[in-house]
C-alpha cells in the first residue's frame, strides 16, 4: 500500500469530509452496513486518496482494489454518491462535504468495496477476445500486416481497461444478469473489425444471441460512464447493423459455411 500522499496545493485549504463507506465481511457480518469516517482531505486529492487515508490511519480492515492511481489498471471502480467512477479519477474538489462510497452496482459483493468479477470474466472468454486468423502463418512467413487506416478502424475499442463502470451504469445488466454487456460486446466488435481477423461468424453465436446485442435497449449509459471513451453503445449498434446484414446474406448465400475450422484448431 502506498503511504505517500500528495502535497497540498498552495492557496487552497484542507477540507474534512464525512465519508460513509459500505462494509460487508461475509465471514462475520449477517448483512451489509455503512461506517462513517471523518477524513481530512487535501485540495488535490481524488477519492482513492481519501480511501487510502482511511486504510492507513483509521481502519486497516477496509478492503478495496486499486493499483495504478492513474486510470490505467481499471481496478478502482466504485459507486461514489450513486455514480460509477474510477476513484483515482474522481476529484474531492468536485464533491460535497458528505460522500457515500459503495461497491459497483450490478455485481455480487465479495467484501466491503470489492465485487466478484467472475461472471464478467466468463462472458469475456465466451466471445473469444483474440485474433482468429483464416490461416495460421508460420514464423518464416512474417507478421500479419496491417495499415494505419485499418488500425484506425477499431483502435477506439482497444482502449477498454475492463473497469466495469459500464456494467454498473447499464440498466439492462441490472435486469438480466446473463446479458453479455457493454465491454464484452465492444471487445468482440474490436476483433470483428480487425483486418487480420476472420472470427466474426464464430463470435456471432454469443454476440448475436438473445443475451448479446439484441438485449441492449440503447440507453447509452455505458458510453457516458466510460472513462476511456470506448463508446460501447456505438459498438453494439454497429454490431446490430452487421448482424442484420449477416442474417439476410444467409438467405441469399446459403452455401456459405461458418468459418469455424481455425477456432476448432485453436481450442
Ligand atoms: S468499455 Fe469503458 S467503462 Fe466499460 S469496462 Fe471498458 S473502459 Fe470500463
Ligand atoms: S487505480 Fe488503476 S484505474 Fe484507478
**pLDDT tens per residue, range 157-176:** 999 999 999 999 999 999 99
The pLDDT tens digits for 34-45 are 999 999 999 999
What spacing in Å lies between the alpha carbon of 261 and ligand 1's midpoint? 31
Domain limits, CATH 3.10.20.30, in the chain: 15-115
Domain limits, CATH 1.10.1060.10, in the chain: 118-252
Task: Evaluate whether 132 touches 202 at the Cβ level (below 8 Å).
Answer: yes
What spacing in Å lies between the alpha carbon of 216 and ligand 2's midpoint? 27
209 Cβ neighbours under 8 A, 6+ residues apart: none
Determine the Cα–Cα distance for residues 244 and 246; give it in Å rounded to an integer: 5
* CATH T-level topology, domain 118-252: Fumarate Reductase Iron-sulfur Protein; Chain B, domain 2 (1.10.1060)
Residue whose C-alpha cell reads 512467413 in the numeric block:
141
Determine the Cα–Cα distance for residues 186 and 158; give it in Å rounded to an integer: 9
**CATH 3.10.20.30 is the classification of domain 15-115:** yes
**For ligand 1, mutation pick of 65, 179, 183 (most atoms within 8 Å of CB):** 183
Most confident of 47-51, 144-148, 256-260: 47-51
| Neighbour count for residue 200 (Cβ, 10 Å) | 22
Is pLDDT above 90 for 252? Answer: no
Buried b (16+ CB within 10 A) or exposed e, 17-32: bebbbbbbeeeeeeee
Query: Helix, strand, or coil here: 25?
Result: coil
Torsion over CA: 84, 100, 62, 67 (sign): positive
| Ligand found nearest the CA of 65 | 2
**Which residue's alpha carbon is nearest to atom 8 within ligand 1?**
163
What spacing in Å lies between the alpha carbon of 157 and ligand 1's midpoint? 9
pTM over cut 0.85: yes
Among the ranges given (26-40, 116-130, 245-259), the one the predictor scored with the smallest mean pLDDT: 245-259
Q: What is the model's pLDDT at position 266?
A: 44
The pLDDT tens digits for 63-94 are 999 999 999 999 999 999 999 999 999 999 99
Amino acid at each position: 500500500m502506498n503511504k505517500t500522499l500528495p502535497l497540498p496545493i498552495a492557496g487552497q485549504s484542507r477540507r474534512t469530509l464525512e465519508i460513509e463507506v459500505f462494509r460487508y465481511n461475509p465471514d462475520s457480518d449477517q448483512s451489509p452496513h455503512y461506517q462513517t469516517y471523518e477524513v481530512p482531505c487535501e485540495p488535490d486529492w481524488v477519492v482513492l486518496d481519501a480511501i487510502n487515508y482511511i486504510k492507513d490511519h483509521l481502519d486497516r480492515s477496509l478492503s478495496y482494489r486499486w493499483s495504478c492511481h492513474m486510470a490505467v489498471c481499471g481496478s478502482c471502480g466504485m459507486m461514489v454518491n450513486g455514480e460509477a467512477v474510477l476513484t483515482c479519477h474522481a476529484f474531492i474538489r468536485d464533491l460535497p462535504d458528505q460522500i457515500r462510497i459503495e461497491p459497483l452496482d450490478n455485481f455480487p459483493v465479495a467484501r466491503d468495496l470489492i465485487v466478484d468479477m467472475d461472471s464478467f470474466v466468463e462472458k469475456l472468454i465466451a466471445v473469444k477476445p483474440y485474433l482468429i486468423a483464416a490461416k495460421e502463418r508460420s514464423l518464416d512467413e512474417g507478421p500479419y500486416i496491417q495499415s494505419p487506416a485499418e488500425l484506425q478502424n477499431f483502435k477506439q475499442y482497444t482502449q477498454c481497461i475492463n473497469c466495469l463502470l459500464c456494467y454498473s451504469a447499464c440498466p439492462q445488466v441490472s435486469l438480466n444478469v446473463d446479458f453479455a454487456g457493454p465491454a464484452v460486446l465492444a471487445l468482440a466488435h474490436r476483433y470483428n473489425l480487425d483486418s487480420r481477423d476472420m472470427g466474426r461468424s464464430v463470435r456471432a453465436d454469443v454476440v448475436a444471441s438473445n443475451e448479446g446485442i439484441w438485449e441492449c435497449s440503447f440507453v447509452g449509459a455505458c458510453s457516458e460512464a466510460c472513462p476511456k471513451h470506448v463508446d460501447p453503445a456505438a459498438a453494439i449498434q454497429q454490431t446490430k447493423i452487421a448482424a442484420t446484414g449477416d442474417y439476410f446474406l444467409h438467405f441469399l448465400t446459403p452455401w456459405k459455411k461458418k468459418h469455424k475450422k481455425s477456432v476448432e484448431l485453436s481450442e
